[in-house]
């Protein structure tokens, strides 16, 4: 499984429409983000490898299945935090490692201010979380950090991506899987996704001014 995965589902369309609406209250915005992240996570984990595990039911012993890989959840601060909880609910044993980046308002380039990934013992699968994949700059930095760590299977989860951002990641990292609920066509002069939904971090954390 490689490339870009646009999730087609009636619930995705429904929840995304509410998320885009300018008047959606921050509390509802967070709920919709949570719901969409759950749907994205379901798709992004569909092919995780399993190994047999024998368990004892109240009636007999049976061979079941358990995950056979170590997983890292890597949110890009701060907006990526809005996607963490749904992933943890589905993957309660996953490690969570944070990457802090902000965008230079003049150049639109990401500036890293926090990275605590270990130097060794990498996870098998890394999920990079960023609600908005605009230029792709922050996600590129996150992918490069996971590659330096030695993570061999990197998957990006974004609610909305721009076509230029998706094209950039697909070109530079063809081995990385990208899971998105929508791909919007363009970026404006400020490098915001259009039509998009504005600043996801501000809307999640109610810091719109």
Domains and their CATH numbers in the chain: 4-205 (3.40.50.2020)
Marked catalytic residue, from 24, 70, 167, 199: 199
Strand partners, 134: none
Q: Which of the pair, 207 or 102, is modelled with greater confidence? A: 207
* Residue of 98, 91, 93 lying closest to 44 (CA atoms): 91
Residue 202 designated active-site: yes
Predicted pLDDT of residue 2: 62
Choice among 7-16, 48-57, 103-112, 130-139 with the minimum mean pLDDT:
103-112
38 is catalytic: no
Q: What is the pLDDT of residues 60-119, one digit of tens each?
A: 999 999 999 999 999 998 899 999 999 999 999 999 999 987 776 666 677 778 888 888
The yes-or-no answer on residue 93 being catalytic is: no
* pTM, two decimal places: 0.92
The three-state secondary structure class of 9 is coil
CB 7 within 8 A of CB 179: yes
Active-site position among 103, 124, 167, 168: 103
* pLDDT at res. 1: 46
**pLDDT tens for each residue of 154-196:** 999 999 999 999 999 999 999 999 999 999 999 999 889 999 9
DSSP state for residue 61 in the 8-state scheme? E
Task: Select which of 2, 17, 107, 207 is catalytic.
Answer: 107
> So what's the pLDDT on residue 115?
85
Average pLDDT rounded to a whole number, residues 11-40: 96
Annotation says 135 is catalytic: no
Q: What are the Cα distances from residue 121, in Å, to 17, 88, 146, 156?
A: 41, 21, 12, 21
Catalytic residue selected from 45, 70, 168, 202: 202
- Name residue 163's beta-bridge partners: none
Beta strand segments in the chain, E: 4-6, 50-56, 61-67, 71-77, 95-96, 99-103, 110-115, 125-129, 132-133, 153-162, 177-184, 186-187, 193-194
Kindly report, residue by residue over 119-135, the tens digit of the pLDDT.
889 999 999 999 999 99
Cα–Cα distance for residue pair 176/139, rounded to 1 Å: 11
């Amino acid at each position: 499984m490689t490339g870009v995965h646009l999730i087609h589902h009636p619930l995705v369309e429904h929840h995304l429409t509410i998320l885009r609406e300018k008047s959606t209250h921050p509390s509802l915005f967070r709920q919709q983000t949570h719901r969409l992240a759950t749907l994205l996570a379901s798709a992004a984990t569909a092919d995780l490898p399993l190994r047999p595990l024998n368990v004892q039911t109240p009636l007999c012993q049976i061979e079941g299945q358990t995950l056979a890989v170590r997983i890292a959840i890597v949110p890009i601060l701060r907006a990526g935090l809005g996607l963490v909880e749904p992933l943890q609910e589905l993957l309660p044993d996953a490690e969570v490692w944070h990457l802090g980046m902000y965008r230079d308002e003049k150049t639109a380039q990401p500036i890293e201010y926090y990275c605590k990934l270990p130097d060794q013992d990498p996870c098998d699968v890394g999920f990079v979380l960023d609600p908005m994949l605009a230029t792709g700059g922050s996600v590129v930095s996150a992918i490069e950090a996971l590659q330096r760590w030695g993570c061999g299977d990197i998957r990006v989860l974004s609610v909305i991506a721009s076509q230029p951002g998706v094209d950039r990641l697909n070109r530079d990292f063809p081995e990385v899987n990208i899971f998105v609920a929508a791909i919007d066509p363009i970026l404006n002069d400020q490098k915001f996704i259009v039509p998009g939904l504005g600043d996801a971090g501000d809307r999640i954390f109610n810091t719109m001014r």
